Amino acid sequence: MLSPFRSFVRSPRLGRLIATHSSVNPDEISHFSNLSAHWWDEHGEFEFLHKMNPVRMTFVRQKLLEAARDDGTDPNPAQVLANLDVLDVGCGGGLLSESLARLGANTLGIDASEKNIGIARQHASTDPRLAPTSPHSSLMYQHTTAEALLEQPKQFDVVCSMEVLEHVDNPASFLSTCAELVKPGGHLFLSTISRTPLAYFLTIFMAQDVLRKVSPGTHTYSKYIKPSELIQFFETYRPPTPPAPVPSLRESVTLADSLTSSARPWITRHSDTYLPRTQVDVRGLIYNPVFGNWHLAPKDAWGSLECNYIFWVRKPKEIDS
Amino acid sequence: MLACRRLARPAFSRIRSLSTTTEGALTHENCDVVVVGGGPVGLALAGALSSSRVVGDNLRIALVEAGDLDKIRAWQLPSEKYSNRVSSLTNTSYAFLNDIGAWSYVQHERTCPVEHMDVWDGISDARISFDAAEIGTVSQNEGMARLTENLNLQRGLLHLLEKAPGVDLIHRTKVTSVTRESEGHGAWPIVNLDNGRRLRARLLVGADGFNSPVRAYAQIPSFGWSYDTQGVVATLIHRPRSAYEGPNTTAYQRFLPTGPIAFLPLSPTVSSLVWSTRPHIAQTLQGCDPSVLACMINAAFRLPQVSLQYLYNRISEAQATSTPLTPQQVQEEILWRETSHGIDRHSAMSASAAMGDAPIGIPPVNSELVPPLVTSIQAGSIASFPLRFNHTESYLGEGAGARTVLVGDAAHTIHPLAGQGLNLGLGDVEALAKCIENAILQGSDVGSYTALQPYARERYLTNHTIMAAIDKLHKLYTTDFEPVVWARSTGLEVVNELDSLKAAIMMTAGADGGKSGITAGWDMVTKGVETLDSAVKVARAVGGGIGGIVGTGVQTLIQRVSERTRA
Ligand SMILES: Cc1cc2nc3c(=O)[nH]c(=O)nc-3n(C[C@H](O)[C@H](O)[C@H](O)COP(=O)(O)OP(=O)(O)OC[C@H]3O[C@@H](n4cnc5c(N)ncnc54)[C@H](O)[C@@H]3O)c2cc1C
């Protein structure tokens, strides 16, 4: 419901990045740049996000545990994230990154906003478990974009980008960037808002205009993406061998034509009704206004994907391709 | 120099290695959880946390207690002597203590199951009695509750903490103040100890009792009142029950207009007293010779209210003139009152037989309706505590009081008539430990409001429901105004018919009605009380009818009482 974009500060270095990679939107950014001081106020602007975080973490852990079991290993459920390389794209104040790092993941949080990275670093420094001075710390922050990271060879076991997709300008390009940052056999987690009348009503009309829980201008309806669009993207997505111009996700889903690769797509469906369990999952994130908390909707619950949802997709292992 | 006994063996040195940071000239130690208070609740929390592998792997825990925990660890009494602070632990509490591995360190022989309960109204004599076997959920020989000395429980928990180390026990050390390290959101509290140590706490737990300094730091408001009642406790010695009467496993409670008096069995010849009464009466009782008090206890379970009132006055007047009554004089007074009430000296209702010969042969009829006659009181066991109702507005600190959470008496204090205070505290501990464990698994900051909210959500309403029901029961029974008494007695008759309500009242005594049913049960107690309350309203309506004839005096009186009952 509340999806503050990681605000952006006009820096010369990133200016160049925007020119070449159009997923970061400078307008989105000026709106959020004043909010970063509130990231860690659990009762403020980001309260919903604080409350949503444990639910997102539950989903992440659950999927990693299932995948490990599918691979025939039996990890300690408390340690599924231990020692994995995890990237948090659009980490904001570090809500998710801190949780990932506490569970032992080698976490890199990146954000296009220098201010956010400053807040995130400052907050982590007060926590002896996470402070960069601590010998146990496995948390790093970097002021950069996902696109810029592609220039390095490093890939990650897990890439997360929570509540970011609805704020980027070219989601297809953003998605393929994230996808490329994932190791073969690794995982991509996204949470965002669907483009439905209900989502409009709750996240824009109620949250922004009526209740003023979220600053007006936080969300733009036309930028919302439906779960079916994400699924279709990964049914056709193949790593672009030469970086090809990517069509807009919202206009067209015939990406296969423009992306040429021999690898199998991330999602190979044999049925129209069921998603292949080992490749993809999508679950609604439901807010209960009475208790003021979030929960993960049961699998395939009717209508549960009408608003906030979380999406997991697994990159094929090399042998699969 | 540090008055600290460290039990912690650094099993997981990666995390537990003491991280000390300097901030200006002052150094502090980083802790994940600082529990203030080593009462039964604080120790149970430490025990629950230390028994969780997930918690042990991730959190550094310290507990600060002003008192001497070594003394409790070494606490030992001859088998026939008992501490005067006794709590009836519900089966839920018992199961929890078992789960965390604490119960095996509690000296079982010193605990006593409650198999039966007898509760009656001192004015109308309406009575409910029931036994553990009536409730299906209670397992064999467990009773509906288990009377346990607080010290026996605390000692057991300390032994558990020795066996499952991981908690830094800092005792004989007072928290002198709590300060905030900075102004930011979710700033960490710094706990300043009188030995100079400073603990920087990710999460600060107030298990520090009614006068909770942690609550004061967190600026959590609380509401409540004093009952204008003292709870007099003592360890009672009596003859064993005869073979005809069965074992001493019945708890008795008589509701007097001045407050309930309870007799809680500990062994065949020892039981514990909790006598809630007006402060001036408590003072009188505590001021008498222990054998006079023994006579008064016997009388309080048997004589009509009017005679008890007479006896309190007699004793108090004698005390005022420095000519205290001897036990023989009090016995004679009691005998005289009994004769005037037509109570047969040899009947079960006679308190005057106490000083006489040991009963021979078949006990008098109905002897099981009253507790055995107290013959003496264990030396040094008489004490009293002010009773109050108190509930904080929240269990979690916010803003300037961020990263604090309250458990046990620091969060809520109730009248002991239902023996629930410690049980509520143990329920808090179980929920909080579970909440902390879940938060760790989600990678949350266990000191954050968001991580702790499930604890508050689980406990606040449950506690509130139980507390409200107990408070209403107390108010209902501490009046001797006739319409209320009449309503009460019919109410009790109705109560007897209703299995579910009975189950709820058994939870009053400490039985487990199934966890999910607990608040439902207590809700029913409240509803039951409200039914009586409407009976009072009927009485008031009648009073209104009379009003035209007798005048408004009666009406005002009825109104006053019914308001008092509802308040
Ligand atoms: C007469 C009577 C009968 C009762 N009967 C029952 C019963 O049958 N069943 C039942 O369940 N409950 C019963 N209760 C209630 C029960 O005793 C309490 O609920 C229980 O003791 C509360 O435990 P606690 O650990 O929360 O608080 P406490 O026992 O009050 O412990 C608080 C601890 O904090 C420490 N502390 C406080 N301030 C500081 C500081 N600044 N620095 C360091 N340490 C500090 C204190 O030294 C103390 O040890 C009864 C109560 C009374 C008065």
Domains delineated in chain B: 27-110+143-224+386-467 (3.50.50.60), 228-385 (3.30.9.10), 476-566 (no CATH)
User: Is residue B451 less than 8 Å (CB to CB) from chain A?
Assistant: yes
Of the candidates B189, B219, B223, the residue with the CA atom closest to the CA atom of residue B64: B189
Query: Is there an atom of ligand 1 within 6 Å of B260 CB?
Result: no
CA distance A49 to A94: 11
Q: Which residues of B touch A99 (CB under 8 A)?
A: 442-444
CA distance B330 to B323: 13
CA distance B435 to A293: 15
pLDDT for res A271: 76
Angle of CA points B413, B415, B417, to nearest 5°: 140
Asked whether B199 and B34 are in contact (CB, 8 A), the reply is: yes
CA distance A160 to A109: 10
- Tell me the two tokens of residue A282: 């999508």
Q: What is the Cα B409 distance to its own chain's centre? A: 10
Helix ranges (DSSP H) in B270-358: 279-287, 290-300, 305-320, 327-341
Which residues pair with residue B177 across a beta bridge? B192
Q: How far is CA A199 from CA A233, A297, B414, in A?
A: 21, 16, 47
Fold of A12-314: Rossmann fold (3.40.50)
The minimum-distance atom of ligand 1 relative to the CA of B424 is 11
pLDDT for res B37: 98
Asked whether B397 and B404 are in contact (CB, 8 A), the reply is: yes
Interval B328-352: pLDDT, tens: 999 999 999 999 998 888 888 888 7
One-letter-per-residue 3-state SS of A247-277 = CCCCCCCCHHHCCCCCCCCCCCCCCCCCCCC
pLDDT for res A202: 73
Taking an 8 Å cut-off on Cβ atoms, the answer to whether B19 and A41 are in contact is no
Q: What is the Cα B488 distance to its own chain's centre? A: 24
Q: What is the Cα B423 distance to its own chain's centre? A: 7
- Tell me what percent of chain A is helix, strand and coil, each rounded to the nearest 5: 35, 15, 45
Contacts of B557 (CB under 8 A, 6+ apart): B481, B543
Asked whether B174 and B68 are in contact (CB, 8 A), the reply is: no
> What does chain B come to in residues?
567
Asked whether B468 and B520 are in contact (CB, 8 A), the reply is: no
Look at residue A2 and tell me whether its pLDDT is greater than 50.
no
Nearest beta carbon to residue B443 from set A40, A41, A99: A99
Asked whether A47 and A55 are in contact (CB, 8 A), the reply is: no
pLDDT for res B358: 53
Q: How many angstroms does the Cα of residue B381 sit away from the middle of ligand 1?
A: 17
**DSSP conformation class of A134:** S
Q: How many angstroms does the Cα of residue B288 sit away from the middle of ligand 1?
A: 27
Asked whether B374 and B236 are in contact (CB, 8 A), the reply is: yes
The one-letter amino acid code at B505 reads I
pLDDT for res A145: 94
- Tell me the two tokens of residue B260: 């309930």
Look at residue A23 and tell me whether its pLDDT is greater than 90.
no
Q: How many angstroms does the Cα of residue B39 sit away from the middle of ligand 1?
A: 6
CA distance A200 to A195: 7
Interval B3-42: pLDDT, tens: 333 333 333 333 333 455 554 557 899 999 999 999 999 9
CA distance B273 to B377: 10
Task: Determine the residue of chain A that is closest to B398 in CA distance.
Answer: A43
Asked whether A116 and B92 are in contact (CB, 8 A), the reply is: no
**DSSP conformation class of B396:** B
pLDDT for res B523: 64
User: Is residue A243 less than 8 Å (CB to CB) from chain B?
Assistant: no
For the beta carbon of residue A15, count every other beta carbon within 10 angstroms. 10
For testing contact with chain A, the best of B450, B452, B453, B457 (most A CBs within 10 A): B450
CA distance A166 to A224: 5
- The tally of CA atoms less than 13 A away on the side-chain side of residue B29 is 17
- Atom 41, ligand 1: which residue's CA is nearest? B175
Nearest beta carbon to residue A41 from set B185, B440, B443: B185
Asked whether B528 and B492 are in contact (CB, 8 A), the reply is: no
Q: Based on DSSP, count helices (H) and strands (E) in chain B, helices before strands.
A: 17, 20
Q: How far is CA B468 from CA B390, B422, B474, in A?
A: 11, 16, 10
Q: How far is CA A206 from CA A196, A199, A290, B544, in A?
A: 14, 10, 15, 53
pLDDT for res B525: 60
CA distance B500 to B517: 10
Handedness of CA B432, B433, B437, B438 (dihedral sign): negative
Nearest beta carbon to residue B449 from set A42, A58, A293: A42
pLDDT for res A300: 76
The minimum-distance atom of ligand 1 relative to the CA of B210 is 30
CA distance A233 to B199: 52
- pLDDT less than 50: residues of chain B: 1-18, 23, 136-138, 493-501, 508-516, 538-567
Q: Which residues of B touch A101 (CB under 8 A)?
A: 443
User: Is residue B453 less than 8 Å (CB to CB) from chain A?
Assistant: yes
Top mean pLDDT of A26-30, A199-203, B121-125, B503-507 is at B121-125
* Residue ranges of domains in chain A: 12-314
**DSSP conformation class of B369:** G
pLDDT for res B548: 29
CA distance B47 to B61: 11
pTM score, two decimals?
0.86
CA distance B416 to B418: 5
Backbone Cα Rg of chain A: 18
Query: Is there an atom of ligand 1 within 6 Å of B233 CB?
Result: yes
- Tell me the two tokens of residue B500: 């579910």
Of the candidates B156, B160, B159, B149, the residue with the CA atom closest to the CA atom of residue B89: B149
Choice from B4, B41, B89, B253 to test ligand 1 binding pocket (greatest atom count within 8 A of CB): B41
Q: What are phi and psi of A156, to 5 degrees?
A: -120, 150
User: Is residue B449 less than 8 Å (CB to CB) from chain A?
Assistant: yes
The whole-angstrom distance between B268's CA and the closest CA on chain A is: 49
CA distance A218 to B221: 36
Q: What is the Cα B10 distance to its own chain's centre? A: 36
CA distance B327 to B330: 5
Contacts of B424 (CB under 8 A, 6+ apart): B408, B412, B414, B463, B466, B467
CA distance A289 to A284: 15
Match 């790093």 to its residue by tokens: A140
Which has more confidence, A253 or B240?
A: B240
Asked whether the ipTM of the predicted complex exceeds the cut of 0.90, the reply is no
Q: Which residues of A touch B14 (CB under 8 A)?
A: 136
Mean pLDDT of the residues in chain A: 81
- Tell me the two tokens of residue B227: 């009952």
CA distance A260 to A114: 36
Asked whether A267 and A280 are in contact (CB, 8 A), the reply is: yes
Q: What residue numbers of A does the annotated binding site cover? A: 56, 90, 111, 162-163, 166-167
User: Is residue B22 less than 8 Å (CB to CB) from chain A?
Assistant: no
* Interior/surface letters B477-492, b for 16+ CB within 10 angstroms, e for the rest: bbbbbebbbbbbbebb
Backbone Cα Rg of chain B: 25
Of the candidates B314, B303, B292, the residue with the CA atom closest to the CA atom of residue B382: B292
CA distance B285 to B442: 56
Q: How many angstroms does the Cα of residue B76 sit away from the middle of ligand 1?
A: 20
Q: Is B66 exposed, middle or buried (0-12, 13-18, 19+ CB in 10 A)?
A: middle
The one-letter amino acid code at B199 reads L
Q: How far is CA B406 from CA B392, B417, B428, B448, B466, in A?
A: 9, 23, 9, 14, 18
Of the candidates B216, B155, B148, the residue with the CA atom closest to the CA atom of residue B419: B148
Contacts of B138 (CB under 8 A, 6+ apart): B91, B132, B144, B511, B512
What is the enclosing helix (H) or strand (E) of B49? helix B40-50
Per-residue confidence at A186, pLDDT binned at 50, 70, 90? Answer: very high
Per-residue confidence at A169, pLDDT binned at 50, 70, 90? Answer: confident
Asked whether B7 and B165 are in contact (CB, 8 A), the reply is: yes
Q: What residue numbers of A does the annotated binding site for S-adenosyl-L-methionine cover? A: 56, 90, 111, 162
Mean pLDDT of the residues in chain B: 82
Taking an 8 Å cut-off on Cβ atoms, the answer to whether A42 and B202 are in contact is no
pLDDT for res B501: 44
Taking an 8 Å cut-off on Cβ atoms, the answer to whether B444 and A127 are in contact is no
Look at residue A91 and tell me whether its pLDDT is greater than 90.
yes
